[in-house]
Amino acid sequence: MKNYSRKWITQRVTAALLLPLTFWFIYSAISLSEMEYDDITIFFKSYINLLFFYIMMIVMLLHSKLGLQTIIDDYVTSKKGSKTIKFIINLFSYSLMCLMTILIFRNLF
């Protein structure tokens, strides 16, 4: 399987994962808008809510990274510019994923 077909399949899988997680997030956000601060902290202390939020954020970052890289592949003609932009996208995406992981685990303990 070529790299492009793997990216295409991965992008479709992440989109399929984001669909139910987005509905969960919208429902949770509506519920959170009516809660006090203490209730919100209790909501995120729940392991299932924290897990859903973590998965949603990681999958969303991966999906956006793949989408941005596809746009760069399609529209940037310079090889050097393409590599530079892809490096920045990867650095930004993986940095946010690491930061999200650190913040989630910090919330657990």
Range of the domain at 93: 3-108
User: Within its chain, how far is the Cα of 101 from the centroid?
Assistant: 11
User: Is the predicted pLDDT of residue 108 greater than 90, yes or no?
Assistant: no
How many distinct structural domains can be found in the chain?
A: 1
SS3 77: coil
User: Is the predicted pLDDT of residue 28 greater than 60, yes or no?
Assistant: yes
* CATH code, domain carrying 62: 1.20.1300.10
CA distance 42 to 109: 13
CA distance 109 to 45: 10
For residue 28 the two structure tokens come to 């949770």
pLDDT tens-digit profile of 64-87? 999 999 999 999 999 999 999 999
